């Protein structure tokens, strides 16, 4: 399907979530418009839990920034690579067939749940396999990231545990995090982040701990982020300007 800024998405049946882009333009609202309005070509975006690559195509194909994409499940990783190749993004997108967690090592992941694959115990009854794990604190490229997207099906707390040094020394401007638990709230609040909501058509960013979207939006330096979003050129999608 044709998508943002001349990009395309390769969609197949059962790509739950990603196929929402076909019906809605952007399947996670207001998260995806927030990414479009925040990033600039010189930025780095961390797509942690990239799945088949919607956010990766959005961040580099739509905006032009450098993207570090992490997807541990082999089938999803192959689909991610196909999206990158189809859009000619190889020059500035680095894909990692790995999970992100508290420390480097290995972790068992389900492989039979499609977009809902996640970390599982060794006695998991379905199909699974061991995958490599990386920690954000061991990844220099992420110290330069403007925005992280954490969508790792309940593994977000481990990801943040492996990012303690980066959050203290070189935090991103914003984090989109699926996990809304108290533990995550305490970690990000202590690191100077504030929960916010975003209204894409008016480009208004405001503190809001009750915001409901695909992910909770956490922001540092509210005024800097808001100024960026107000000055980003509009994007055309499904005949609309956002």
Q: Where are the domains of the chain?
A: 4-100+139-241
Residue 98: predicted pLDDT: 94
> How much is the pLDDT for 240?
79
Whether the pLDDT of residue 136 is over 90: the answer is yes
Binned at pLDDT 50, 70 and 90, residue 189 comes out as very high
Residue predicted with more confidence, 14 or 200 = 200
Mean pLDDT of all residues in 219-225: 95
Kindly report the CATH number that applies to the domain delimited by 4-100+139-241. 3.40.50.150
3-state secondary structure of 226: helix
Q: Tokens for 102? A: 């508290």
Q: Is the predicted pLDDT of residue 153 greater than 80, yes or no?
A: no
List, in order, residues 6 or more apart from 29 with CB less than 8 Å away.
200, 213, 214
Given 3-state DSSP classes, what are the helix, strand and coil percentages for the chain, each rounded to the nearest 5? 35, 25, 45
**What's the mean pLDDT in 163-170?**
97
What integer pLDDT is reported at residue 5 of this predicted model? 86
pTM: 0.92
**pLDDT value for 239:** 76
Q: What is the pLDDT of residue 104?
A: 94
Contact, 50 vs 75, CB < 8 A?
no
Q: Is the model's pLDDT at 171 over the cut of 80?
A: yes
Q: pLDDT digit string (tens) for 223-232?
A: 999 999 999 9
pLDDT reading at 168 higher than 90: yes
Dist CA 22 CA 213 (whole Å): 19
Q: Is the peptide bond before 30 cis (omega within 30 degrees of 0)?
A: yes
- Residue 74 and residue 129: Cα distance in Å, rounded? 9
Check pLDDT > 90 for residue 128: no
Question: How large is the average pLDDT for residues 29-47?
Answer: 95
Q: What is the pLDDT of residue 237?
A: 78
8 A C-beta contact, residue 215 and residue 149:
yes
Q: Pick 112 or 86 by higher pLDDT.
A: 86
Crossing angle of helices 31-38 and 222-231, rounded to 10°: 80
Distant-in-sequence, close-in-space partners of 164: CB < 8 Å, separation ≥ 6: 137
């Amino acid at each position: 399907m044709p998508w943002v800024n001349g990009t395309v998405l390769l969609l197949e049946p059962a790509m739950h979530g990603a196929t929402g882009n076909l019906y809605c333009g952007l399947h996670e609202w207001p998260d995806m418009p927030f990414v479009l309005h925040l990033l600039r070509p010189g930025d780095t975006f961390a797509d942690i839990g990239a799945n088949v690559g919607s956010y990766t195509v959005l961040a580099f194909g739509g905006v032009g920034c450098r993207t570090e994409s992490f997807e541990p499940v082999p089938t999803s990783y192959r689909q991610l690579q196909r999206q990158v190749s189809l859009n000619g993004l190889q020059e500035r997108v680095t894909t990692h067939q790995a999970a992100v967690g508290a420390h480097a090592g290995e972790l068992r992941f389900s492989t039979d749940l499609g977009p809902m694959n996640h970390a599982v115990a060794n006695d998991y009854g379905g199909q699974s396999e061991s995958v490599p794990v990386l920690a954000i604190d061991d990844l220099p490229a992420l110290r330069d990231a403007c925005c992280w997207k954490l969508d790792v099906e309940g593994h977000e707390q481990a990801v943040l545990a492996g990012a303690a040094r980066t959050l203290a020394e070189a935090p991103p401007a914003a984090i989109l995090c699926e996990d809304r638990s108290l533990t995550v709230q305490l970690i990000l609040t202590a690191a100077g982040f504030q929960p916010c909501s975003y209204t894409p058509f008016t480009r208004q960013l405001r503190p809001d701990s009750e915001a409901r979207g695909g992910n909770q939006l956490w922001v540092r330096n509210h005024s800097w982020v808001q100024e960026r979003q107000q000055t980003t050129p509009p994007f055309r999608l499904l005949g609309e300007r956002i």
